A and B are shown apart, each in its own frame.
Chain A
Amino acid sequence: MSEAHKITLATAWLDGCSGCHMSFLDLDQRLIELAEKVDVVYSPIVDTKELPPVVDVGILEGAVSTEEDLHKARMFRGRCQFLISLGDCAVSGNVPSMRNTFDLDDVLDRAFVENVQAQPGRPSESLPTLLRTVLPIHHVVQVDLFVQGCPPSADTIWQVLTELMAGNTPDPTQFTRFGA
């Protein structure tokens, strides 16, 4: 298979703990096998800074919590042929969404004032605006596949990717579930 026919893959890390990306790295030696068929064109684990205009498969980890997340989710949807929500945060909001039941001002004060010893105070610039409500990816853009788990195991990710590469639509519920 020549370079030109490699499947392009982009991943991004929105509001989550990066555990899903760690799980992806847990593919270990299978990453080498993957690299023969897949070209990771944009990801926190590669150097590229720009999402190419057309990508075969997009994977989003984390929930949509900020204007920045919203922008990224929309950009991924616009450019990726097939979009995957990876992990419970992306699929359900999970832990980040637990702030939804609190007032946003209270959340900010707790994070930047009450629990801070040195120079307490809310940051005024260079941070993306928080959304009122943390949302799963599919409440913002259309998603093609949902992979649950906190995080989904490397085996789950491998199953999903190999099925996809074989041209099939995987059924992740066979390997994983909420909270797994």
Chain B
Amino acid sequence: MNLEDLADITEAVAAAAESRRHCVRVCMAASCQSCGSGEVLEGLQTQAKQNADDGVCIKPVGCMGLCSAGPLVSVDSDQPATALLYQDVTVDDTEDLYHSLGDQPVERLRCRTDVPFFARQQKVVLENSGIIDPEQIDDYIAAGGYRSLMRAVTEMSREEVLREVKESGLRGRGGGGYPAGLKWATVAMAPEPHKYVICNADEGDPGAFMDRAVLESDPHRVLEGMALAGYAVGAEHAYIYIRAEYPLAVERLKTAIKQATKKGLLGRRICETALSFEVEVRLGAGAFVCGEETALMASIEGRRGQPRPRPPYPAEEGLWKCPTLINNVETLANIPAIVGKGGAWFKSIGTENSTGTKVFALAGRIANSGLIEVPMGIPLREIVHEIGGGIPDGRRFKAVQTGGPSGGCLPEQFLDMPVEYDTLRSAGSIMGSGGMIVMDETSSMVDVARYFMEFCMDESCGKCVPCRAGTVQLYGLLDKIADGEATPSDLELLEELCDVVQATSLCGLGQTAPNPVLSTLRYFRHEYEEKLRPESERMPRMQIVTLDD
């Protein structure tokens, strides 16, 4: 494979598209599949067969974003904002839909595309999502894929690639927000001959599905980003650690690795150079803590998925004690564009300290739940009320939870705040991996805190005492408060315990577990206090605990 081969494939794909009268794209990401897009795809294919109409191309594609309106089907244009988009399509609609091609659209199924949900987005990571067939490498190549890798390994030095990433100001999209360029440079500097690249695809935050969508919709983009990372830091081996709960993403990734290896873009002697880059998939067995980098590496090594104290950081001593670069899916998915268009171009998007775009998963009490990609620095209000379409059923907005179990709840007063790493942190929440759960006036903030604490309690690995024995007590206290059986001294104890768990836990899971409690206490303290009874009516919890097994 060389640049000319890529150009040939692009031309061939374009020529094939030219010869088609129409192109119908059916979303085959997990969300649309779960509401029957597989049948829709089959229905349309049957229609095409019955009508012996070679001029129509029925194409399975990845996520189109507006998951709440799925199954989604788009016609002709590859830009959602200009395409004819159909929502809630069922297999019974396929006949009408097929016959309407080139004629009047099927009005009853139409999904408006001139709305902020489509117009306000800016896509980098998701630029191919919903457009290309994720199982066809040629589609990705035709959309400009693997050009960056090819150019990097043939025309650029490692330092040049590194410089672009540094220049871009890209920060880790997994939640930490650590500057990617700095991390890469540290690994690149390590003198050891053996290094590893790891793609962290163990997305586990409740309500977050960004990485899943990227892997299901455009897996090659992630592979290309990983290969670029490998080139820049000098690693020839890589792992993708992905949770087994994402079977579709795993399958597409494996397909993509096979295709890319066959084409000489991965594996030995990539892109006709002396370089190697081998990628292996490792499945996580359902532990949230394995998203923590040291636990993740332990899991890849075949040990119990438990974190260890840092330092040493993975960049210095990672997988099998070798220098290791660990980046999240979305971080790596940004890399081909950064190397291709330049770090300066990326830096021009977003704000000074939070460059580029960010993918968010909108969920909860919001009209348009689904996946969006917006430039950093966009006000929360725009995400919730414009792109998200506001709160359904005429209810009032109450809070938005960002950052999953490690994040916090932000009330209305923060709606005009720009969404950036630092502003979110100063408001008591975090960017996190990009889950956004919207709550309306009927949501109880104590219940929200209790929900996230239950999650952390269940997911605690049990290694360190404050997290293992602390989250279970925090959950108990929140449960007591929610049930109206707590007194002011319980609330005091809750706050003290939050401080201890936050300050002394070994890894990020425990250190951030109290965040949802602390942020709801900060902005909705009255909801806690309303549920308290006087100290003289102290009510002990009389319960015994039975173990899991």
User: Is A150 part of the binding interface, using a Cβ–Cβ cutoff of 8 Å?
Assistant: no
A133 near B540: Cβ-Cβ < 8 Å: yes
B542 near A132: Cβ-Cβ < 8 Å: yes
B535 near A139: Cβ-Cβ < 8 Å: no
User: Is A101 part of the binding interface, using a Cβ–Cβ cutoff of 8 Å?
Assistant: yes
Chain B residue at smallest Cβ distance from A100:
B544
In the bound complex, CA of A132 to CA of B545 (Å) = 12
User: Is A31 part of the binding interface, using a Cβ–Cβ cutoff of 8 Å?
Assistant: no
- Give the residues in chain B near A133, CB-CB below 8 Å: 540-544
A101 near B538: Cβ-Cβ < 8 Å: no
Provide the B522-549 mask, 1 if CB < 8 A to any CB of A, else 0.
Answer: 0000000000000100101111100000
In B493-549, which residues have CB < 8 Å from any A CB? 535, 538, 540-544
- Give the residues in chain A near B535, CB-CB below 8 Å: 142
- In the complex, how many angstroms separate the beta carbon of B479 from the nearest chain A beta carbon? 16
In the bound complex, CA of A100 to CA of B541 (Å) = 12
In the bound complex, CA of A131 to CA of B544 (Å) = 12
- Give the residues in chain B near A111, CB-CB below 8 Å: none
- In the complex, how many angstroms separate the beta carbon of B492 from the nearest chain A beta carbon? 12
Provide the A102-145 mask, 1 if CB < 8 A to any CB of B, else 0.
Answer: 00000000000000000000000000000111010001111000
> How big is the B interface, by class?
under 10
Chain B residue at smallest Cβ distance from A138:
B538
- Give the residues in chain B near A100, CB-CB below 8 Å: 544
Provide the B316-343 mask, 1 if CB < 8 A to any CB of A, else 0.
Answer: 0000000000000000000000000000
In the bound complex, CA of A165 to CA of B544 (Å) = 40
B544 near A101: Cβ-Cβ < 8 Å: yes
B542 near A142: Cβ-Cβ < 8 Å: no
In the bound complex, CA of A133 to CA of B544 (Å) = 8
B542 near A141: Cβ-Cβ < 8 Å: no
In the bound complex, CA of A2 to CA of B538 (Å) = 38
B540 near A140: Cβ-Cβ < 8 Å: yes
- Give the residues in chain A near B540, CB-CB below 8 Å: 64, 133, 135, 139-140
In the bound complex, CA of A17 to CA of B185 (Å) = 68
In the bound complex, CA of A18 to CA of B543 (Å) = 27
Provide the A43-67 mask, 1 if CB < 8 A to any CB of B, else 0.
Answer: 0000000000000000000001000
Chain B residue at smallest Cβ distance from A133:
B542
- In the complex, how many angstroms separate the beta carbon of B504 from the nearest chain A beta carbon? 22
- Give the residues in chain B near A131, CB-CB below 8 Å: 542
- Give the residues in chain A near B541, CB-CB below 8 Å: 133
Chain A residue at smallest Cβ distance from B545:
A101
Chain B residue at smallest Cβ distance from A136:
B540
- In the complex, how many angstroms separate the beta carbon of B222 from the nearest chain A beta carbon? 50
- Give the residues in chain A near B544, CB-CB below 8 Å: 100-101, 132-133
In A67-109, which residues have CB < 8 Å from any B CB? 100-101
- In the complex, how many angstroms separate the beta carbon of A71 from the nearest chain B beta carbon? 14
In the bound complex, CA of A68 to CA of B540 (Å) = 15
- In the complex, how many angstroms separate the beta carbon of B119 from the nearest chain A beta carbon? 58
In A15-59, which residues have CB < 8 Å from any B CB? none
In the bound complex, CA of A141 to CA of B535 (Å) = 8
Chain B residue at smallest Cβ distance from A70:
B540
In the bound complex, CA of A100 to CA of B540 (Å) = 14
In the bound complex, CA of A140 to CA of B542 (Å) = 11
In the bound complex, CA of A100 to CA of B542 (Å) = 9
Most buried by A among B538, B540, B542, B544: B540
Chain A residue at smallest Cβ distance from B489:
A142
- In the complex, how many angstroms separate the beta carbon of B546 from the nearest chain A beta carbon? 10
- In the complex, how many angstroms separate the beta carbon of B442 from the nearest chain A beta carbon? 34
In the bound complex, CA of A141 to CA of B534 (Å) = 12
In the bound complex, CA of A142 to CA of B489 (Å) = 10
In the bound complex, CA of A101 to CA of B547 (Å) = 11
In the bound complex, CA of A139 to CA of B540 (Å) = 6
- In the complex, how many angstroms separate the beta carbon of A78 from the nearest chain B beta carbon? 8
In the bound complex, CA of A64 to CA of B539 (Å) = 13
- In the complex, how many angstroms separate the beta carbon of A75 from the nearest chain B beta carbon? 12
- Give the residues in chain B near A139, CB-CB below 8 Å: 538, 540
- In the complex, how many angstroms separate the beta carbon of A96 from the nearest chain B beta carbon? 14
In the bound complex, CA of A104 to CA of B361 (Å) = 48
Chain A residue at smallest Cβ distance from B539:
A140
In the bound complex, CA of A100 to CA of B538 (Å) = 20
B543 near A142: Cβ-Cβ < 8 Å: no
Chain A residue at smallest Cβ distance from B537:
A74
In B292-350, which residues have CB < 8 Å from any A CB? none
Using A64-B540, A135-B540, A142-B489 as known contacts, list a sample of 12 further A-B pairs with CB atoms less than 8 Å apart, ordered by residue number in A.
A100-B544, A101-B544, A132-B542, A132-B543, A132-B544, A133-B540, A133-B541, A139-B538, A139-B540, A140-B538, A141-B538, A142-B535
22 A-B pairs whose Cβ atoms sit less than 8 Å apart in the complex: A64-B540, A100-B544, A101-B544, A131-B542, A132-B542, A132-B543, A132-B544, A133-B540, A133-B541, A133-B542, A133-B543, A133-B544, A135-B540, A135-B542, A139-B538, A139-B540, A140-B538, A140-B540, A141-B538, A142-B489, A142-B535, A142-B538
Which residues of B are in contact with A by a Cβ distance under 8 Å? 489, 535, 538, 540-544
Q: 7 tightest A-B contacts by CB?
A: A133-B542, A132-B542, A139-B540, A135-B540, A140-B540, A100-B544, A140-B538
